[in-house]
Amino acid sequence: MSEKNQETEVAVKKNFIHQIIEDEIKEGKNNGRVHTRFPPEPNGYLHIGHAKSICLNFGTAQKYGGLTNLRFDDTNPSKEETEYVDSIKDDIRWLGFDWGDREYYASDYFNKLFDFAVKLINEGKAYIDDQDAETISSQKGTPTRPGTESPYRNRSVQENLDLFMKMKDGGFNEGDCVLRAKIDMDSPNMHMRDPILYRIMKTPHHRTGDKWYIYPMYDFAHGQCDYWEGITNSICTLEFEVHRPLYDWFIDQLKSDDYRPRQIEFARLNLSYTVMSKRKLLELVKDKHVKGWDDPRMPTISGLRRRGYTPASIRNFSDRIGVTKVDGMIDVALLEHSVREDLNKTAQRIMGVLDPLKVVITNYPEGQVEQLEAVNNPEDPEAGTRMVPFTREIYIERDDFMENPPNKFFRLAPGREVRLRYAYFITCTDVIKDADGNITELHCTYDPASKGGNSPDGRKVKATLHWVSVTENVKAEVRLYDRLFSDETPDGHKDVDFKEFMNPGSLQVLSECYIEPFVKQSKPFDHFQFERLGYFNLDPDSTPGKLVFNRTVQLRDTWSKEQNK
């Protein structure tokens, strides 16, 4: 299959980055070529913030007929693992994007970066500093006070070369020395004050094994990788804005013709009630506050997928929130809206009862199983219909009945008639209780003339209930999720750990739920709308003997005349 066919064409709203690119194309910059990259560090799973960056990078290239590279920023071997590389690739593909054969690693460039460092040393633009990290940072100065030059700053080129080779060959211990660029200790930009280029790390690397004892800093790697890959627009988040002069300084030392990559910054996504830092997400996983990276309460792409989010819903969300230069906070409700909107168009409708109350229809023949026709998706005429079995005993939702209903409760109550969706009108005749006064079942009668749920004589009922047969069903576990944090900005409180704001009720497991038999044929990750209850999907924890569903998102009840859910 060609690359084009595999990729999902994404409608992307025009944003300020597109404007920059259109201007560049008009000026004939890079011969009209547009080439972006997505540069994850493989030290955790991707989250919804990364999804924004992925949609922006891949979407922008698509919009202008360009290309996007996937480049793993694997410059820190102590935190990086192959598991993360694999999950990142799965997540990007699942979102609908394809990097073709352009899968790169910063570590692919370790030799070139080393040679570039040697070139800088030869040109007197880099030196080995024997001071420890603390001393170096104490000499940095402040934005208003210039830094102090290192006593090792004016070593000879030859001495620097010898020491750098010794660093490379493992002749020093970690922390003994670093390679620094020799730029300007008086620069108003702190990043230009002789930044560190290489440090000694005697940690094996997930790709280069134990070949290297020194590793480049991120700042020393990513701009050069952009250059070598022919990237035209290096899109990154706002915190890198102050690094841009350094990015450009390195490119100035490298470039040989007109071409140079251009760094453009945008505001990262912050979502309410969510933490987005990989370090904090890792903490939640490691300390078992959640079941794993793909726990459906996590803001990771794999968590959202497991929760029942669709790729289209995440792409639409990314497009809807737009791209700006100002940090802000997006309401998590907007993400929920996006998935609701997408699933409304596509999800198979079924009936399931989560908190069952048995109803015996006393005038319905015992042992009879009647197949009633139900609509699969009212939003999609092509989806057709299915048959749902109806029997004398059914379950309804416990909260669809009230013995002493207040004025605004229109659902089932003693003496009242309601419609069972696709089935019949029923009237409650008796309420059966146990010795403690708990309602154990209801007795009702049905009107055989109301088959299909149609009124036989124009008489009206005020509510329509979903139901499941007591004998013809699939028993299931249903997991209901609430926000993982009960505070809008869990990591925005000084001196209070974000975990203090974890919502103890974020997972509720309902183990006795009944679903119509249709779901027997479904596969993990299949989406459903449980009528009146929300969108759900089948969890991979399901076994043939026990289906497990996740509630993706709630649904507003649109059937009954009251707003009861």
Angle between helices 110-122 and 218-229 (to 10 degrees): 110
Backbone angles phi, psi at 214, to 5 degrees: -125, 145
Q: Considering beta carbons, is residue 238 or 507 the nearer one to ligand ATP?
A: 238
User: How far is 50 from 69, CA to CA, in rounded Å?
Assistant: 15
Q: Residue 168 has which token pair?
A: 């490379």
Residue 269 binding result from Mg ion, ligand ATP, none, given CB thresholds of 5 to 8 Å by partner type:
ligand ATP
Contact 351, 466 (CB under 8 A): yes
Q: Considering beta carbons, is residue 269 or 461 the nearer one to ligand ATP?
A: 269
92 binds ligand ATP per the rule CB under 6 A: no
User: How far is 84 from 102, CA to CA, in rounded Å?
Assistant: 18
The CA-based angle 347-345-547, given to 5 degrees, is 10
Distances (CA, A) of 418 to 460, 468, 471: 9, 15, 22
Per CB under 6 A, the segment of 104-112, 148-156, 174-182, 271-279 that binds ligand ATP is 271-279
Residue 49 binding result from Mg ion, ligand ATP, none, given CB thresholds of 5 to 8 Å by partner type:
ligand ATP
Backbone angles phi, psi at 49, to 5 degrees: -65, -45
Give every CB contact of residue 209 below 8 A, 6+ residues apart in sequence: none
Site map (CB under 6 A) of ligand ATP, residues 58-87, x = contact? ---------------x--------------
372 binds ligand ATP per the rule CB under 6 A: no
Residue with tokens 């309410």: 272
Site map (CB under 6 A) of ligand ATP, residues 216-255, x = contact? --------------------xx------------------
The CA-based angle 185-187-190, given to 5 degrees, is 85
Catalog residues that contact Mg ion under the rule CB under 5 A.
41
Using CB under 6 A, pick the residue from 63, 278, 349, 411 that binds ligand ATP: 278
Report 22-61 residues binding ligand ATP (CB under 6 A): 39-41, 49-50, 52-53
Contact 31, 15 (CB under 8 A): no
User: How far is 536 from 339, CA to CA, in rounded Å?
Assistant: 11
Per CB under 6 A, the segment of 25-33, 148-156, 275-283, 370-378 that binds ligand ATP is 275-283
Residue 296 binding result from ligand ATP, Mg ion, none, given CB thresholds of 5 to 8 Å by partner type:
none
| Residues with catalytic roles | 41, 268, 278
Report the nearest approach of Mg ion to the CB of residue 249 (Å).
20
The DSSP call for residue 160 is H
260 binds ligand ATP per the rule CB under 6 A: no
Q: Considering beta carbons, is residue 216 or 352 the nearer one to Mg ion?
A: 216
Q: Say how many residues touch ligand ATP, by CB under 6 A.
A: 15
Angle between helices 157-168 and 110-122 (to 10 degrees): 160
Q: Considering beta carbons, is residue 54 or 396 the nearer one to ligand ATP?
A: 54
Residue 50 binding result from Mg ion, ligand ATP, none, given CB thresholds of 5 to 8 Å by partner type:
ligand ATP
- Amino acid letter for position 436: D
Which residues of the shown chain bind ligand ATP in the complex (CB under 6 A)?
A: 39-41, 49-50, 52-53, 73, 236-237, 268-269, 276-278
